[in-house]
């Protein structure tokens, strides 16, 4: 090693040791005949001192060192006169006797400090400099630590990590595949996996019993702030289990992660039916850090000649505790919020439960004091509370009120990043109607098992069929989801039929799985966690981009290496493809 | 869980317990009024008994169970009358009181047993059945265990696992890239990484200090038995180090793996100069499980009017100990062996050192007894030894004799799969001449640092320039290789120039790395191990295919899922490409 110690480890216990350190110049300052340099590496920061009285030439060299220069110094550990007890190394400094410049540095395009002046684009282009900043590096260290903990836990539970292939087969179901032209099989293509779903099921057929993999997956979808074309899953599958076993094993995983990585003791993870989640929160991933459940008002508000309520399929509201004193302006903001096109609400009704106990609504014309008392009872409102009510088509108004609820949670400071509320959401619908294609799609994927007692409804009422499917939600974010799988060829074929596959299409795309089910497939099920998302929650971040070492921008470009890019004609010729741009 | 115990855990200590087991029917046999079934799962095998006297109907059901049926049984653990002490569960059996068929099975196309009757093609097509066989599954369990040990060791040494991107940029240098058309950037392509080389170097520039990753890499090369289009590397990099540090850390990794996974205590790994490896073994990856070093004979054999030796650049031989009694037929076989086109030898000279001490060569016409005594001295031959000699152009004859040496090693049983001889080969040449392109290529890769003292020869004698590059070899197989990298923009630009890059090409393809070197790049270096290869050596296998869960065949096809395959016209249209087959 070029160093004897790192920049993070020397303390008063090392006094008078002769040491050699390497690292980057964080900053330097002159004071009389002295130069002080803060030298940084991954492990910390150490102060170096150069004194003209001791070695004028070396001190002159030290003064020439710019930010981010890479240096190697030898010297003696001495006690600082001016201690900084906030730093691990703050009681000592190195009285340098030898200075070596390992590499100079141009001035970085932004500050390499915890708070930087660099914009997103600049930091992406110079990601290797951005990653020098402690918060950026700490995110990846956290990611490493979490991956290690995941593996330790699952290995300890007899799970085997198996690498499944990256060059697989394109299937039209689901999101768009990235494809890879095959030179050796001209005109044919591999696809990159959206998940190792079928392979992990085959491993169960093979008797692997407990499989996991921390694995890259790929989706060629239009990108939003929080989507990346390549992302990482903790992918898991178990055989000879029931849903309850999966819930227990993976609740254990999440609790272990919180305990070992964040030092947080989670209580047992509560469970909620999908239908309850939709009814009480208007979302299949409710943020349960705060209460503010939906209250349905049809029984109370209809028949009072207020057409908005009378004509609505559902009238529903929340109790914003302590908000009775909201000003007109604040209430207008809320109305504007729910009227934004991405939410699409039509209007907001409110009732103030004033500090003096009086009730006053924005629709006093239609509802008298007795009516409002009923409202108050329904919401359990107390003096000081503000009731916010919306009306409309059931699914739509629930989604809209969910947005308002989350907004109120933000305004009231109820969504604390240091608080964690995990939740199992259970019994998802098997199918969901897709407006674009005019048919049902698998809500989870085509391999999810319907509840036995609901199979009969596949023909009569497909939208009502429930699946043995479950999501884990933390703080309103879906971090994982899975299901008990079909392990029977006939039921799987029936599912494909209901998803619009012809017999030939099913055989052509998934014949290997249907065949496998005939050779002794055990009951099995599994789950996959979005690892980028999970790390971002642990890091207290809103975006997954900051927990990915080299992320792509919203156009799917890596602006640092300038990819994608054109390739040589010779490459295209060898692959027997041409571009049609 | 559907079971209370696995099929591998019940022993005499569990006598009289009521248990429930699940698994596959391995085989069944009838004996009088009894049926015995061996039931298998990942963890082992347990014998089940069904007795007509107890339950004739259930026994009749049991008789109907075929191989590979999936069943669930409940019953009591009883002592076997006929114990099998070779099996962990061989002292007990389950007296079944309840039998449930979980899934029937068609008769598998080959035997699910340690020794199977299935050919390669059939087993690849039904890989999910092949993986039920213990040897196949054990290879993947070994792989899992090794990956866990690698991570534990490196994590313990402060290495951080960082995921680098899979969708990167195509570069013409090196092997052929797999490419991925970008829908969002029409006419442009990502490439799949052949290694994360530049990314790990950027992480060093970022100050990550110690990086590793167990990572999939991709090469679109024509496949041989032992190549796969996707393969896995243990990829590592360290900053502020010298070559010695890398050798120590990764020798430690390999020794830890051997110790913890195979229970083998390796001695310190010997080191050999590349030039010595070529001189003494004719290979940069010598199998040092056995000695049989090359002896150079130019000094002794020239000038005796034997034209083959006189005209040869190098005359060189090995001592095949104990082979003096080889028959004419055996010697002809060896001559045929070295004359095979893939070896290309022209002839084989031999000398027998007979048991009576006499020396007799195949070229007695030219060499008298005194001459042969000198040969004997040069080879340290003893009575009973056979000296095998070849002549020709230096590089070529060394390679040929290397093949002969390995063949003799095989014939003499000196290449024991349970013996492990690791070796560091050091100081590889920086460049190698490529006949096809008529220019020098980087032997390792363009980022490898030349030895400082040799840089002057880049212009005058490029083939002689040595690199700070090293390989780890085990039993004649390269398991890993790496180098100290260039961390200086000017030297890197000089290297690109010598590799035939124009300034524009270098900037276009690797500008981000050249730029990064100007912002304070630390000295760094690393290594990558071929993980598939490493596992196959630990498993005692010749091919990497058996340590990969779902391998591709020699045409790059996954015959199980039938990939690659054609894709929909709609997909091609969206990607703005067309096939030109």
Beta bridge partners of A577: B579
Distance CA A510, CA B281 (A): 51
The answer to whether A110 touches A46, Cβ cutoff 8 Å, is no
B83's tokens: 């114990």
- Using the beta-carbon criterion (under 8 Å), do A549 and B127 form an inter-chain contact? no
A199: left (phi over 0), alpha (psi -120 to 50) or beta: alpha
Give whole-number Cα distances, A37 to A25, A66, A543, in Å: 7, 10, 35
What's the longest Cα–Cα distance across chain B? 93
- Using the beta-carbon criterion (under 8 Å), do A576 and B580 form an inter-chain contact? yes
How, if at all, do strands B422-426 and B431-434 pair?
A: unpaired
Question: Which of B1, B151, B571 has its CB closest to that of A245?
Answer: B1
Residue A158 has pLDDT above 90, yes or no: yes
Distance CA B320, CA B401 (A): 12
Say which residue the tokens 């393809």 belong to. B509
Q: Which chain A residues touch B127 with a CB distance below 8 Å?
A: 202
- Using the beta-carbon criterion (under 8 Å), do A167 and B132 form an inter-chain contact? no
Query: A153 vs chain B: nearest CA distance in angstroms?
Result: 12
Residue A297 has pLDDT above 70, yes or no: yes
Residue of B nearest to A548 (CA): B163
Give whole-number Cα distances, B386 to A521, B293, B318, B351, B366, in Å: 59, 14, 8, 6, 19
Say which residue the tokens 């009306």 belong to. A391
Residue A272 has pLDDT above 80, yes or no: yes
Residues of chain B with CATH 2.40.50.140: 12-103
Distance CA A512, CA A521 (A): 13
Residue B171's pLDDT is 83
The size of the A-B interface in CB pairs under 8 A is 353
Instruction: Read off the pLDDT band of A96 (50, 70, 90).
Output: very high
Residue A476 has pLDDT above 80, yes or no: yes
- Using the beta-carbon criterion (under 8 Å), do A169 and B104 form an inter-chain contact? no
- Using the beta-carbon criterion (under 8 Å), do B516 and A128 form an inter-chain contact? yes
Query: B410 vs chain A: nearest CA distance in angstroms?
Result: 33
Q: Provide CATH code, domain A290-415.
A: 3.30.1360.30
DSSP secondary structure string, A195-215?
A: --HHHHHHHHHTT--EEEEEE
- Using the beta-carbon criterion (under 8 Å), do A103 and B241 form an inter-chain contact? no
- Using the beta-carbon criterion (under 8 Å), do A151 and B155 form an inter-chain contact? no
- Using the beta-carbon criterion (under 8 Å), do B169 and A564 form an inter-chain contact? yes
Tell me the whole-structure pTM to 2 decimals. 0.96
- Using the beta-carbon criterion (under 8 Å), do B102 and A523 form an inter-chain contact? yes
pLDDT digits (tens, 9 = 90+) for A298-338: 999 999 999 999 999 999 999 999 999 999 999 999 999 99
Residues of chain A with CATH 3.30.1360.30: 290-415
Cβ-based neighbour number of residue A517 at 10 Å: 21
- Using the beta-carbon criterion (under 8 Å), do B208 and A232 form an inter-chain contact? no
Residue A171 has pLDDT above 90, yes or no: no
Mutate to test the interface with B, among A163, A508, A572 (most CBs of B within 10 A): A163
Q: What is the mean pLDDT of residues A173-183?
A: 91
Instruction: Read off the pLDDT band of A203 (50, 70, 90).
Output: very high
Distance CA A325, CA B279 (A): 90
Distance CA A345, CA A404 (A): 10
A140's tokens: 């990846």
Bond into B506 cis (ω within 30): no
Residues near B330 by Cβ (< 8 Å), separated by ≥ 6?
none
Q: Provide CATH code, domain A12-103.
A: 2.40.50.140
Bond into A104 cis (ω within 30): no
Distance CA A526, CA A543 (A): 26
B369's tokens: 């007894």
Contacts of B40-43 with CB under 8 Å at 24 or more apart are: B40/A207, B40/B7, B41/A207, B41/A209, B41/A240, B41/B6, B41/B7, B41/B8, B42/A207, B42/A208, B42/A209, B42/B6, B42/B8, B42/B137, B43/A209, B43/B6, B43/B7, B43/B8, B43/B9
Residue B194's pLDDT is 96
Residues of chain B with CATH 3.30.930.10: 137-272+423-547
Q: Which chain A residues touch B192 with a CB distance below 8 Å?
A: 166, 180
Question: Which of A151, A190, A577 has its CB closest to that of B564?
Answer: A190
The answer to whether A532 touches A230, Cβ cutoff 8 Å, is no
Residue A285 has pLDDT above 90, yes or no: yes
Superfamily of domain B137-272+423-547: Bira Bifunctional Protein; Domain 2 (3.30.930.10)
- Using the beta-carbon criterion (under 8 Å), do B108 and A519 form an inter-chain contact? yes
Residue A225's pLDDT is 67
Sign of CA dihedral B42, B46, B47, B48: negative
Q: Which chain A residues touch B151 with a CB distance below 8 Å?
A: 148, 151
The answer to whether B117 touches B111, Cβ cutoff 8 Å, is yes
Residue of A nearest to B170 (CA): A567
Distance CA B475, CA B453 (A): 32
Query: B442 vs chain A: nearest CA distance in angstroms?
Result: 21
Residue B225's pLDDT is 67
A247's tokens: 């819930």
A554 vs B199, residue with greater confidence:
B199
- Using the beta-carbon criterion (under 8 Å), do B516 and A189 form an inter-chain contact? no
Question: Which of A203, A523, A567 has its CB closest to that of B179?
Answer: A567
Residue spans of chain B under pLDDT 70: 225
Query: A284 vs chain B: nearest CA distance in angstroms?
Result: 27
Residue B13's pLDDT is 97
DSSP secondary structure string, A210-234?
A: EEEEEEEEE------TT--SEEEEE
Mutate to test the interface with A, among B141, B249, B489, B519 (most CBs of A within 10 A): B519
């Amino acid at each position: 090693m070029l160093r004897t110690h790192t920049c993070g480890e020397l303390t008063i216990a090392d006094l008078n040791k002769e040491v050699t350190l390497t690292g980057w110049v964080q900053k330097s300052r002159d004071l009389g005949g002295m130069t002080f340099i803060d030298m940084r590496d991954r492990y910390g920061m150490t102060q170096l001192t150069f004194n003209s009285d001791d070695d004028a030439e070396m001190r002159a060299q030290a003064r020439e060192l710019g930010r981010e220069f890479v240096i190697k110094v030898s010297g003696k550990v001495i006690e600082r006169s001016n201690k900084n007890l906030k730093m691990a190394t703050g009681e000592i400094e190195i009285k340098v006797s030898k200075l070596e410049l390992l590499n100079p540095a141009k001035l970085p395009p932004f500050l390499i400090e915890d708070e930087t002046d660099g914009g997103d684009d600049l930091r992406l282009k110079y990601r290797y400099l951005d990653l020098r900043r402690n918060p950026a590096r700490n995110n990846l260290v956290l990611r490493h630590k979490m991956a290690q903990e995941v593996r330790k836990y699952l290995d300890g539970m007899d799970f085997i990590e198996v690498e499944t292939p990256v060059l697989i087969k394109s299937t039209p179901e689901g999101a768009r595949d990235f494809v890879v032209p095959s030179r050796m099989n001209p005109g044919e293509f591999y696809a990159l996996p959206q998940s190792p779903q079928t392979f992990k099921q085959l491993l169960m057929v093979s008797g692997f019993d407990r499989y996991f993999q921390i694995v890259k997956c790929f989706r060629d979808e239009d990108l939003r702030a929080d989507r990346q074309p390549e992302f990482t899953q903790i992918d898991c599958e178990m055989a000879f289990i029931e849903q309850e076993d999966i819930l227990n094993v993976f609740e254990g995983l999440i609790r272990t992660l919180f305990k070992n990585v964040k030092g947080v003791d989670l209580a047992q993870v509560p469970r909620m039916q999908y239908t309850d989640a939709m009814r009480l929160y208007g979302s299949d991933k409710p943020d349960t850090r705060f209460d503010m459940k939906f209250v349905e008002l049809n029984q109370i508000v209809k028949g009072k000649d207020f057409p908005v309520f009378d004509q609505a399929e559902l009238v529903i509201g929340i109790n914003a505790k302590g908000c009775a004193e909201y000003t007109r302006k604040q209430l207008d903001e809320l109305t504007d919020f729910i009227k934004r096109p991405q939410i699409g609400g039509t209007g907001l009704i409110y009732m103030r439960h004033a500090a003096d106990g009086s009730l006053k609504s924005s629709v006093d014309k239609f509802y008298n004091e007795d009516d409002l008392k009923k409202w108050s009872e329904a919401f359990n409102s107390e003096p000081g509370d503000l009731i916010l009510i919306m009306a409309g088509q059931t699914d739509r108004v629930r989604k809209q009120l969910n947005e308002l609820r989350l907004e109120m949670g933000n305004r009231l400071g109820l969504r604390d990043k240091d608080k964690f509320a995990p939740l199992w959401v259970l019994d998802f619908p098997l199918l969901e109607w897709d407006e674009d294609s005019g048919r049902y799609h698998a809500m989870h994927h085509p391999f999810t098992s319907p509840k036995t007692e609901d199979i009969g409804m596949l023909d009569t009422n497909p939208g009502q069929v429930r699946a043995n499917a479950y999501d884990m939600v933390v703080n309103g974010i879906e971090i994982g989801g899975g299901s008990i799988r079909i392990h029977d060829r006939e039921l799987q074929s029936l599912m494909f039929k209901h998803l619009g596959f012809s017999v030939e299409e099913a055989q052509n795309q998934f014949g290997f799985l249907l065949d496998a089910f005939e050779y002794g497939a055990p009951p099995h099920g599994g789950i996959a966690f979005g690892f980028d998302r999970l790390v971002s929650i642990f890091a207290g971040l809103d975006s997954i981009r900051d927990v990915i070492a080299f992320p792509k921008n919203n156009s799917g470009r890596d602006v640092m290496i300038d990819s994608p890019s054109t390739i040589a004609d010779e490459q295209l010729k060898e692959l027997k493809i041409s571009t049609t741009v």
